[in-house]
Chain A
Amino acid sequence: GENVEQHPSTLSVQEGDSAVIKCTYSDSASNYFPWYKQELGKRPQLIIDIRSNVGEKKDQRIAVTLNKTAKHFSLHITETQPEDSAVYFCAAMMGAAGNKLTFGGGTRVLVKP
């Protein structure tokens, strides 16, 4: 089955700096890669996603890049703000596997004011 590795597990940045989280996946058949933000005790919220026919996608301060050859994708948050503090999860989905998501281990991001 699919395996998703996520790094780093914790990330501390100064407000205004950029944060980068990297994920690798194992199955080349995976074709959908969402990123979720989860605050303590809350539901995961989709913040951005990318499909395998696209190399990069941006939404305001958030961007995601995908390298299918290397099987890795990254989340970039620019101009970080304290409210960006949360746990971020990457995930990979193989459509042929019934749209099941495999999650990375998560990255706890702390933005220091």
Chain B
Amino acid sequence: GAVVSQHPSRVICKSGTSVKIECRSLDFQATTMFWYRQFPKKSLMLMATSNEGSKATYEQGVEKDKFLINHASLTLSTLTVTSAHPEDSSFYICSGTSGSLDTQYFGPGTRLTVL
């Protein structure tokens, strides 16, 4: 199956700093990438959808100025959590799809801890 990587896998930062998470499709061109957030023992909640070369579409309740998403190429999307606060601590997971295909392939996730 298709492979998606994420970097870093784990990050700890101080409150008020910004953190960038990278999501890469390694063996396919991800025309669409999705960003999810998952709190402990909870389900995956979609934050935003990004299409290569265009602005991301954010889900209701997700602040676009706080969670900056860039999808500059068919193999890379980035999520920047700006001015992070402890309540932003979570497991952030990306996924990618290719063309009109519906199967989403997930990255390994990034665990963010904001002190």
Residues of A within 8 A of B (CB): 32, 34, 36, 41-46, 49, 89, 93, 95, 98-106
Q: How far is the CB of B106 from chain A (nearest CB, A)?
A: 4
Find out whether the CB atom of B97 lies under 8 angstroms from the CB atom of A99: yes
> A43-B108, A43-B109, A46-B1 given as contacts; is B102 within 8 A of A93 (CB)?
yes
The 6 closest A-B pairs by CB, nearest first: A43-B106, A32-B102, A103-B43, A43-B108, A103-B44, A44-B106
Interface positions of B from 12 to 66, Cβ below 8 Å from A: 32, 34, 42-46, 49, 57
Find out whether the CB atom of B104 lies under 8 angstroms from the CB atom of A101: yes
Q: How far is the CB of A66 from chain B (nearest CB, A)?
A: 15
Interface residue count on the B side (C-beta < 8 Å): 22
Q: How far is the CB of B102 from chain A (nearest CB, A)?
A: 5
CB neighbours of B1 from chain A (8 A) = 46
CB neighbours of B103 from chain A (8 A) = 34, 46, 49
CB nearest neighbor in B for A97: B49
Find out whether the CB atom of A44 lies under 8 angstroms from the CB atom of B34: no
